[in-house]
Amino acid sequence: MKILVVGGGGREHALCWKLAQSQEVHKIYCAPGNAGTALVAENVRIAADDIDNLVLFADHQNVDLTVVGPERPLLLGIVDAFEARGLRIFGPSREPAMLEGSKAFSKEIMRRAGIPTGDFAVFEDTGKARDYLKAQTFPIVVKADGEAGGKGVVVAQDFAEADSAIRRFMEERIFGASGDKVVIEQCLFGEEASVMAFVDGETVIPMTAVQDHKRALDGDLGPNTGGMGAYAPVPAAPLAVVEEVTRRILRPAVEAVRGTGIPYRGILYAGVMLTDAGPMCLEFNCRFGDPETQVVLPLLTSDLASIFSAAVDAELETVPVKFAHRSALTVVLASGGYPGDYEVGKPITGLDAASKLDAVAVFHAGTRKNDEGQVVTTGGRVLSITATGETFAEARERCYAGVRRIQFEEMQYRTDIGYRAL
């Protein structure tokens, strides 16, 4: 099989790395990729959301299967465009991808399917939203409907804070059309976890549960980021909980989407709160998480290319999907200043030394090779260092041993990834 992976971050490097282990795969392209994907794939200079050129490329190169990493191209309809050309692609088409693209749509699906989730109301009118708020107890959660780069959710402690979120989303329109609607949602309490699943339209096969760390600083302090690390499995979400999430959240969502006409095919990611009343759904994403993928794929013992291929052919039930009974941990190495302003172009040392360590994988996120052949930083999140082990403690020790081999100017990372597992 010739495979095209769309995207250029740590998630896509992990996808290329895992696909490269498949007997079925003889060529991998990655668009646009990074210095890490170049080690296992051929990078292609096409942006991840340049759908027209991705279609042309896949067609000309006779790519057998395309796999999409980020949500943006999915929300733009990359799957619809590939399928219209008769090209095989793994991911949800535009409409079902709205499970991630619109929080209002997603909550309506949850309600219709009887999925356990916080009580909520949707508003297009600020006056009505404010009237509703006045009758609520706090804390309460205010969510901008559309894409907001992970910044569209406010857990408001009082009326003033909720009101200010409504003003910024709907009146100042800080996220543009994403603030045309807001969801006001009951605040849930508990431990958070993520369960991602392979879906072929009908069959739903969950992966090991993951917990990620979104805050920039140790102790879950500081500003929100794209994700500073993750680990799996999650002690609070053993197999029985993963099965419950599959039965009560993932499967009903897939069935409800099928009822709207277009089946859901791709990765379905459920963000859940493990409450006293059981797992409740916070949100859906329509693709692999980053950095969640960097811990889940190293635990997958089955052939990833065969899984994707079977899912595209709607025969997921025919392939094995197995995970090792081991632990995995990933730590993101970020540029100094991230998620605020940071400098790029910093040379990175120690990449080979870290990769040679036992059970350690160095996934690149924001890197490129410069004209002198040196690997330099290009983004906020630069690398994602993953290790596996028989136990969580072993994975963590190996991971941070890898982290210590690597250096670049103003490198920043968290020293406590996975502390909730202890």
Residue numbers at the binding site for ligand ADP (CB under 6 A): 118, 141, 150, 152-153, 155, 185-188, 192, 271, 282-283
- C-alpha distances (whole Å) from 309 to each of 24, 55, 65, 267, 400 are 10, 18, 7, 13, 35
Distance of closest approach, residue 61 Cβ to Mg ion, in angstroms: 35
Compute the distance between CA of residue 174 and CA of residue 194 in angstroms, rounded to an integer.
Answer: 28
The closest residue (CB) to ligand ADP is: 283
The reply to whether 32 sits near Mg ion by the rule CB under 5 A is no
Distance of closest approach, residue 128 Cβ to ligand ADP, in angstroms: 20
Distance of closest approach, residue 152 Cβ to ligand ADP, in angstroms: 6
**Binders in 209-238 for Mg ion, by CB under 5 A:** none
Report the residue number, 37 or 106, with the smaller CB distance to Mg ion: 106
Distance of closest approach, residue 287 Cβ to ligand ADP, in angstroms: 12
Report the residue number, 250 or 360, with the smaller CB distance to ligand ADP: 250
Report the residue number, 117 or 388, with the smaller CB distance to ligand ADP: 117
Distance of closest approach, residue 331 Cβ to ligand ADP, in angstroms: 19
Q: Which of 39, 38, 42 is nearest to 3 (CA)?
A: 42
Binding residues for Mg ion, total number by CB under 5 A: 1
Distance of closest approach, residue 271 Cβ to Mg ion, in angstroms: 5
Report the residue number, 12 or 283, with the smaller CB distance to ligand ADP: 283
Report the residue number, 186 or 260, with the smaller CB distance to ligand ADP: 186
The closest residue (CB) to Mg ion is: 271
Distance of closest approach, residue 83 Cβ to Mg ion, in angstroms: 28
Distance of closest approach, residue 227 Cβ to Mg ion, in angstroms: 10
The reply to whether 271 sits near Mg ion by the rule CB under 5 A is yes
- Say if CB 381 and CB 294 are below 8 A apart: no
3-state SS track over the chain: CEEEEEECCHHHHHHHHHHCCCCCCCEEEEEECCCCHHHCCEECCCCCCCHHHHHHHHHHCCCCEEEECCHHHHHCCHHHHHHHCCCCEECCCCCCCHHHHCHHHHHHHHHHHCCCECCEEEECCHHHHHHHHHCCCCCEEEEECCCCCCCCEEEECCHHHHHHHHHHHHHCCCCHHHHCCEEEEECCCCEEEEEEEEEECCCEEECCCEEEEEEEECCCEEEEEEEEEEEECCCCCCHHHHHHHHHHHHHHHHHHHHHCCCCCEEEEEEEEEEECCEEEEEEEECCCCCCCHHHHHHHECCCHHHHHHHHHCCCHHHCCCCECCCEEEEEEEECCCCCCCCCCCCECECHHHHHCCCCEEEEECCEEECCCCCEEECCCEEEEEEEEECCHHHHHHHHHHHHHHCECCCCECCCCCCHHHC
The reply to whether 190 sits near Mg ion by the rule CB under 5 A is no
Compute the distance between CA of residue 185 and CA of residue 143 in angstroms, rounded to an integer.
Answer: 8
In the list Mg ion, ligand ADP, none, the entry touching 187 (Cβ below 5 to 8 angstroms by class) is ligand ADP
Distance of closest approach, residue 388 Cβ to ligand ADP, in angstroms: 25
Report the residue number, 50 or 145, with the smaller CB distance to ligand ADP: 145
Report the residue number, 223 or 347, with the smaller CB distance to ligand ADP: 223
Binding residues for Mg ion (CB under 5 A): 271
